[in-house]
Amino acid sequence: METIKSIMLFLYMLSIFIGIAGFAITIVADRRKKDILNRSIKIFVAGLVVTIIYDFILFYSNYVLFNMPRAFSIRLGCCIISLLACLWINLQYRMIAEPKLKFMRDTVIVYSLCYAAIWLMLAIIFPHVAFNILRWFLLATDIAFILIVALSSVVFMSKALENELKAAINYQLLVTTLIIWNYIAFAWGETANNLNIGLAAHVPLDTTIAFWFIVNAATIIFILKEPFATAFGQQNTESIEAENNVASARELIFDQLQDVYSLTDREKELCHYIYDGKSNAEIADSLFIAESTVKTHIYNLYKKTGVKSRMEIIRIVREHQS
């Protein structure tokens, strides 16, 4: 038993070290090349490290923190993992860079945040109600959470497959599976504790560190292959070719729009930004122009294309894609 504990301690320390190293690498990459994907990975890795540290403390305190009930300590772990899932869903969205999936990402994040906030509040204010009377409702929301994260990840992976982003697909599949497993382990530990099953509650929880270690290792490999390599000009040929194909196809669509509606180069550029979901302020910052100037260009764009909203601009672009 002591040997197993020593191995687990080593895995915890190694996972935390790898996580901190990955966080440092993303900081370096972000300073070299400001990119929203870099920032999303950096935030996800930070959340991953926090989750592992909490898991580590929970394991070595025998699942009781600061004299709090064991059920509450495990419930807090479930909420932390649900917040990590929010960061993971956002990261997948940034990897795919598909604006039309924004609503799905936002929906999953809102559900996860509400889930964590409501059940954590109930566990604090009404622990007996939360863990006994409402336990079947809690189980239903747990299952719904797992299905939502899994299904949204499948959609993101299908888009990665469509865009031939093989590195992203492999990474998404691995991390999604392991995050869901770790969440199930915590949820099972909580359920087993509430039903007084005893040692059975600890079995899945005791194995979580092995899976967190795999997630951390996969993450640092992905960081080195993608954002770090991109920032320092070391992208592999496959990634460059795939990105060039996607960029060329997108540019051809906007060239067609420019010809059809007699758009200026600036108006075509605004079509790009609007399709990518940028606000007027973000467009102004990117083009180094005043926000009022952006509004003037958008007004002219609407007039030429005969539309009245950004969603109609996006619809026009999509029509030219098909």
- What pLDDT score was predicted for residue 58? 79
Burial of residue 34 (CB within 10 Å: 0-12, 13-18, 19+) is exposed
The pLDDT of residue 151 is 92
Nearest 5°: CA angle at 289, between 288 and 290? 135
Taking CB atoms within 8 Å and a gap of at least 24, the contacts of 308-314 are 310/274, 313/271, 313/274, 313/275, 314/99, 314/100, 314/274, 314/275
Same domain, 258 and 122: no
Of 186, 213, 231, which marks where a domain is finished?
231
Question: What CA–CA distance (Å, rounded) separates 274 from 272?
Answer: 6
Pick from 231, 265, 280: which residue ends a domain? 231
pLDDT value of residue 235: 46
More confident residue, 173 or 99: 173
What is the arithmetic mean of pLDDT over 109-132? Answer: 80
Residue 276 belongs to domain spanning? 237-321
Task: Centre a 10 Å sphere on the Cβ of residue 87 and count the other Cβ atoms it contains.
Answer: 21
How many structural domains is the chain composed of? Answer: 2
| Side chain identity at residue 299, one-letter code | Y
Query: Which tens digits make up the pLDDT trace of 183-207?
Result: 887 777 766 666 666 555 556 666 7
291 shares its domain with 211 = no
Rounded Cα gap, residues 151 and 143, in angstroms: 12
